[in-house]
Chains A and B, each alone.
Chain A
Amino acid sequence: MSITQSLYPIIRKQNLARGVYDYTVHCPDIAAEAVPGQFVHIRVPGFQLRRPISICGIDRERGALRLVMEVRGEGTEVLSRINEGELIDLLGPLGHGFTLLPPEKKAVVVGGGIGVPPLLGAISHYGNNGTAITGFRSASAVILQDDFKAAGARAILCTDDGTAGERGFVTAALQKLLESETPDIVYACGPMPMLRAVAKMAEEKGIVCEVSLEERMACGVGACLGCACRTVKNGVEGYSHVCKDGPVFNSREVVL
């Protein structure tokens, strides 16, 4: 597995929702190595630290990666002003991706807000056997629904205020689904309380659950030990590192 760092051209930029940008970056060397769930570390002009952003889509033929990023603070604000045709400095692919079962297995992804993009790559693997439960604040924040459908997945949309899809949280939708079906694996990415709830539901049913975690990072490659998260390995609790051992973890191995 090799890691590359270079300046790559943005070949397409779209505004998906307020403050949410969808970039397609031509980076054949990273695209050739990347798997769903991994991330890239993006240099922000004028800032000391790179910003970790998950890989949303991988197009090996075109040598391109898709990155969906929400403006959250100063760094992502600067990144959001980089336009089509300009260059962006990526380091990647980094970390461990999702465990993909044979595509005939049944998979469910559960995502909240900006936690949704990394799940697209995972669910695409399962075609019609995939279900995507995604949740957003309201209709104006909804992203990627057409992409989930195009990937063959059944898309269950939830909004907090009921302005699109079902009213309520993704956890309620998952609970309902689990009453009638037993998927082989559940993948989750989003806010910590959501991850906790999803992991608990899956574990109670004996379903394998993988969660994608976030932590503040410096190096992104596993050298500085900055991005620690609590894990249990062989019954012993200690720190693992999100950038190297994750960002995807088995829910039974992490202390959420």
Chain B
Amino acid sequence: MADLRVEVAGVPFKNPVIPASGAFGFGREYEKLYPLSRLGGISCKGTTLNRKDGNPPPRIAETPAGMLNSVGLQNPGIDAFIEQELPYLRTKDVTILANVAGSTVEDCIEIARKLEGTAVDMIELNISCPNVKEGGAAFGSTPQMAAAVTKAVRGATSKPLMVKLSPNVTDITAIAKAVEAEGADAVSLINTLLGMRIDINTRRPVLRNNTGGLSGPAIFPVAVRMVWQVANAVSIPVVGMGGISSGKDAIEMMMAGASAVQVGAALFADPYAPLHIIDGMNAWLDEKGIGSVREIIGTVQPW
């Protein structure tokens, strides 16, 4: 049994496996299958200042080795999160990440202020959601915007701040450096890649939103590459995600430079995916005689 504990920006995690924002709700549904305390942490559904209805259906399309979604940040709003979800989650003995999504810088500041003094262990500031018209990806697409929103939220919170980056940019390292310079304590990546599917019989996009975010095994190599590039460009910790579905994938992502990993789409094929990934990592570490998972972080030996 290897030591699976990790730390990200001073926040302790029992193990490096965190269900990704949007794939796990606020944990209630999966708690019917297993205790949430077995997880490293939970990244909650992206939460906006006011409740948000999301996009019209269909919101889901299957793709080779992956899927598209255009949920569009449907959520009950930050007050409902704090009043109705957090009291329940804080009893579950699991590290809590609040995923914050504002459509303006002012919204992000207000959400962060509301989270002060709550049981949330870490803020994950989503500057990368591809499914909302205003804000979202726009914040994440230039280093200037990313820096500005990070600076504003940094000033509004005393909680550890992790900024979630979009892969839909020319140079993700430039964005990572910009948010590091403005006081981000960590970065997480990648959010979904923009994609599209068309039903050739009806000549209509499968998604009612036309386009959506691609996730699942199809994006894993892109995510590994970006995590590796970002880990080499910044000195703050990186949380890696995108297509992880096995313990070996998680080990690979950590070797690329991730201090912890998040798991999204894999949950849909296997609702027990986070637990299977934890077991798989443990088995691999034991087999190699490695005492702690922390020993593998960023240990890829590039040619």
Contacts and interface: CB of A to CB of B under 8 A. Distances in A.
B268 A48 contact: yes
Interface string B8-38: 0000000000000011110011101100000
B54 A219 contact: no
A48 B25 contact: no
Interface string B201-217: 00000000000000011
Q: Most chain-B CB neighbours within 10 Å: which of A1, A222, A223? A: A223
Contacts of A244: 29
Given A3-B32, A5-B33, A218-B69, A223 B24 contact: yes
Contacts of B286: none
Interface of B: 22-25, 28-30, 32-33, 45, 53-63, 65-67, 69, 71, 74, 216-217, 265, 267-272
Top 10 closest pairs, chain A to chain B, by CB: A223-B25, A226-B60, A221-B29, A216-B60, A223-B29, A218-B268, A228-B57, A216-B58, A225-B74, A222-B29
B272 A228 contact: no
A217 B60 contact: yes
A239 interface: yes
A49 B269 contact: yes
A48 B271 contact: no
A88 interface: no
A235 to B, nearest CB: 16
8 contacts: A48-B63, A48-B65, A49-B62, A218-B268, A219-B271, A221-B30, A224-B25, A224-B69
Contacts of A91: 271
Contacts of B58: 215-216
A228 B74 contact: yes
Tell me the dominant secondary structure on chain B's binding face: loop
Interface string A210-248: 000001111111111111111000000011000010000
A225 B71 contact: yes
A244 B33 CA distance: 15
A215 B268 contact: no
Nearest to A244: B29
B101 to A, nearest CB: 14
A50 B269 contact: yes
Interface string A39-69: 0000100011110000000000000000000
A2 interface: yes
Nearest to B22: A224
A256 B4 CA distance: 49
Nearest to B208: A228
Contacts of B268: 48-50, 218-220, 224
A250 to B, nearest CB: 19
Nearest to B32: A3
Contact of A226 (B29, B59, B217): B59
A137 B17 CA distance: 50
Contacts of A216: 57-61
A222 to B, nearest CB: 5
A239 B269 contact: no
B60 A43 contact: no
B145 to A, nearest CB: 27
